[in-house]
Amino acid sequence: MATVDFLRKLTQATPASCDQEHIPLVVHFSSQTPDRSDALSGVGPSPLPALIESALMIQRSGARGLVIPCNTAHAWYDDVASAIHIPVLHIVDAAVEQLPPALRGQPVGLLATSGTLNSGIYAARHPEIHWVLPSAHVVDLFVMPAIRCVKSDDMTRASQLLDAAVYSLVEQGARAIVLGCTELPLARSDRNLRVPLIDATDALAHMAVRWALSGLPPASEHMKGL
């Protein structure tokens, strides 16, 4: 459902009034890819062979660029990007772009899978940001259960768990919070949580549309050079 959510956001971010103005896409719902967090915790097989196979298939189909609407999979970003010759946009760059400029230098919370948190992909890609991370307790008790609820389509419970995780980061001083797992935006409630929530899925959709319509190299390529 996270991939469907990404595709919906990509379609809505595209200025189009007929089919032909929409961006041609080839999408692989590679649901059999081994669980990324399990692999990063050393309790499951690596998803890398499946990720590369998927990337090669998409490249063969004629696609000119790749996006991976899964934050945790970005722990293998370098390996995937070097296995193909088309550019790969980076979801962390996309999320960071969406931080309100007024909050520059302020603490930014990150809610993500244990895999994303343990592999440190947000901090490694954007060390200039003061990241506020949830405790292992909050991850185990609220974040991972929220993600599992979305994967099994229990949105009410997912939403309560996400709110609890958000409150804990606000208590730790976060002034904005990145929803750094593509399942989490699906669990958003309408409740006012006092800080802006940055939806990494939506951010990647907007970056992808901008990239596809402009023909420019992706922002991630620029950023890598900085």
Residues lying near a second copy in the complex (CB under 8 A) are found at 1, 3-4, 7-8, 11-12, 16-35, 57, 60-62, 148, 151-153
Give the torsion sign (CA, 125, 26, 182, 215): positive
In the complex, the smallest distance separating the C-beta of residue 202 from a second copy, rounded to whole angstroms, is 14
Nearest residue (CB) to a second copy, 99 versus 186: 186
In the complex, the smallest distance separating the C-beta of residue 183 from a second copy, rounded to whole angstroms, is 10
Give the torsion sign (CA, 99, 102, 108, 109): negative
**Which pair of structure tokens corresponds to residue 159?**
């939403």
Nearest residue (CB) to a second copy, 22 versus 210: 22
Nearest residue (CB) to a second copy, 129 versus 187: 187
Q: Nearest 5°: CA angle at 186, between 184 and 190?
A: 100
In the complex, the smallest distance separating the C-beta of residue 37 from a second copy, rounded to whole angstroms, is 11
SS3 109: strand
**Nearest-CA neighbor of 89 among 63, 123, 62, 118?**
63
In the complex, the smallest distance separating the C-beta of residue 121 from a second copy, rounded to whole angstroms, is 19
Angle between helices 155-171 and 144-151 (to 10 degrees): 160
**Which pair of structure tokens corresponds to residue 175?**
């002034």
In the complex, the smallest distance separating the C-beta of residue 185 from a second copy, rounded to whole angstroms, is 14
Nearest residue (CB) to a second copy, 47 versus 109: 47
Q: Which helix or strand (DSSP H or E) is residue 92 part of?
A: helix 91-97
Nearest residue (CB) to a second copy, 113 versus 168: 113
